[in-house]
Amino acid sequence: MSPDRYVPVALSARHAHLSQEHVEALFGPGHRLTPLFDLSQPGQFAAAETIEVVGPKRSIPGVRVLGPARGRSQLELAATDGVALGVNLPVRVSGTIEGSPGAHLIGPRGAVRLSEGCIVAARHLHATPRDAERLGVADRQKVYARVPGPRGLIFDEIVVRVSDDFRTELHLDTDEGNAAGIGKGDSVEIVSSLCDDLCRLEGCPIAPAVSPGVGRPFCSFTSDKVSIR
Amino acid sequence: MSPDRYVPVALSARHAHLSQEHVEALFGPGHRLTPLFDLSQPGQFAAAETIEVVGPKRSIPGVRVLGPARGRSQLELAATDGVALGVNLPVRVSGTIEGSPGAHLIGPRGAVRLSEGCIVAARHLHATPRDAERLGVADRQKVYARVPGPRGLIFDEIVVRVSDDFRTELHLDTDEGNAAGIGKGDSVEIVSSLCDDLCRLEGCPIAPAVSPGVGRPFCSFTSDKVSIR
């Protein structure tokens, strides 16, 4: 496979984004988040602050807060965490928390009852415009990512987001990283069409007609609705 | 896709298999495991007994013991559990524990220092001979399993095991189930060759020449070593 289709993986462990109001409720009036180290996406940082997240079944202590503070509080958790907390977490694009489960948050100076905001972040690819061109992908299209090795698998349903503000990375959560046996520093192959990109059959009558990113499951010609003779 | 390629999923949560010697060390002399409920594989049961597993970083309480007792003790954990315990778990076929990390096990009547035996069980497909024929797969071959939906993915590296003693099921751990958004009662599609089984292109010059289960990444003709013109 050609090396120029590879991108690094960023694994997101469970974390909290907090509104400034909730920062002050949990850590005290006038409190500002303390940057601990920079994250790979420009401007984002892991804060020194952690909170305890309490669900109906169990609680999870030491959940890292990320900064800067946002408009609305949101907890990005792994589905495994949902089992521990006792809530059924929906898979959502970051920022779309309507109707998601809430939780109680406990900080050193107070507690907050969050009525909604607990989600599993949908897997997605951040790409700079330059890398998007290199990878042959466009903003908002869906792609695959192929992971080799003894726990090899092919992630489907990866939404591409292109912006000059991004660093190019595939964002997965810890469940996904653990299921695929990959971690920080690993790279995976981005595949926009299994048929077109992976087969690359010069003699195949299908591949030349496949538009990147369309055609599911693998290309529009191989679905049950279309018969090729 | 044709429905006769579907198999049910069995998700294994973390559990312990114990030798009779260790059952007695943890639960008292002469103790026998108490069946709590039958598991899907014939003869296997979840026991009423649970143990605490202690790693160098943290411990995990309430780990379910499965019965009957085996020749050697073995802990089948999720990679997520390995992070919590502070050990790097290898992916292994059940029973092959040589060189794997150990742990301390604590029961109500004693403790055991396990020198090795902590693994992540490699994903595998159990099939009856009849279902293997239906699925078009053979003992020890590797297959894919395709999961649809918002967390859709294609599991690679699934080893097929065929026996009259099995119930047909795809065995995954909780990390894998959570990464794919599937649980007990769901079914997935078994695919022995992405090229041959999924494309099914009548006009494709490749598919008829592909032997099921061979040819990786997708078929032997699409690897970098072979050029098709």
How many angstroms away from the CA of A156 is the closest CA of chain B?
Answer: 5
Question: Mean pLDDT across the stretch B37-45?
Answer: 91
Token pair in block for residue B27: 């639960």
Residue pLDDT, tens place only, A163-222:
999 999 999 999 999 999 998 889 998 887 665 555 444 445 455 545 454 333 344 333
pLDDT at B211 over 60: no
Q: Give the pLDDT of residue B219.
A: 41
A178 vs B contacts (CB less than 8 Å): 78-80, 83, 175, 179
Single-letter amino acid, residue A135: L
* Residue in B closest to A78 by C-alpha: B178
Please give the helix or strand (H or E) that residue A104 lies within, else none. strand A103-106
Confidence tier at B146 by pLDDT (50, 70, 90): confident
Top residue of A91, A93, A124, A154 to mutate, by most chain B CBs within 10 Å, is A154
Q: Give the pLDDT of residue B141.
A: 87
How many angstroms away from the CA of B171 is the closest CA of chain A?
Answer: 13
- What's the rounded Cα separation, in Å, for the pair A214 and A197? 12
* Residue in B closest to A149 by C-alpha: B157
- DSSP labels for B177-221? HHHHT--TT-EEEEES-IIIIII--TT-SSGGGPPTT-SSSS-TT
Q: Give the pLDDT of residue B195.
A: 54
Question: Mean pLDDT across the stretch B127-143?
Answer: 92
Check CB contact of B158 with chain A, cutoff 8 Å.
no
Q: Give the pLDDT of residue A194.
A: 61
A–B interface: beta-carbon pairs under 8 A: 126
Q: Answer positive or negative: Cα dihedral of B181, B182, B188, B192.
A: positive
Residue pLDDT, tens place only, A46-82:
999 999 999 999 999 999 999 999 999 999 999 999 9
B123 and B144 Cβ atoms separated by less than 8 Å? no
Q: Is B115 exposed, middle or buried (0-12, 13-18, 19+ CB in 10 A)?
A: exposed
For chain A, give the percent of residues with pLDDT over 70: 83
Higher pLDDT, B229 or B43: B43
CB nearest to B153's CB, from A150, A155, A202: A155
Residue pLDDT, tens place only, B166-179:
999 999 999 999 99
Top residue of A146, A197, A204 to mutate, by most chain B CBs within 10 Å, is A204
Inter-chain contact A180–B180, Cβ cutoff 8 Å? no
Strand-pair partners of B54: B59, B104
Top residue of A194, A199, A200, A226 to mutate, by most chain B CBs within 10 Å, is A199
Check CB contact of A198 with chain B, cutoff 8 Å.
yes
Confidence tier at A39 by pLDDT (50, 70, 90): very high
Confidence tier at B204 by pLDDT (50, 70, 90): low
How many angstroms away from the CA of B181 is the closest CA of chain A?
Answer: 8
Q: Give the pLDDT of residue A24.
A: 98
Single-letter amino acid, residue A12: S
Burial A152-161 (b: 16+ CB within 10 A, else e): bbbbbbbebe
Q: Give the pLDDT of residue A193.
A: 61
Strand-pair partners of A50: A64
B222 and B195 Cβ atoms separated by less than 8 Å? yes
Token pair in block for residue B184: 């007990």
Q: Is A138 exposed, middle or buried (0-12, 13-18, 19+ CB in 10 A)?
A: middle
Inter-chain contact B221–A201, Cβ cutoff 8 Å? yes
pLDDT at A13 over 90: yes
pLDDT at A33 over 90: yes
Higher pLDDT, B208 or A163: A163
How many angstroms away from the CA of A155 is the closest CA of chain B?
Answer: 4
Q: How many CB atoms lie within 10 A of CB A175?
A: 28
Question: Mean pLDDT across the stretch B109-134?
Answer: 96
What is the residue-averaged pLDDT of chain B? 85
How many angstroms away from the CA of B154 is the closest CA of chain A?
Answer: 5
Strand-pair partners of A6: A189
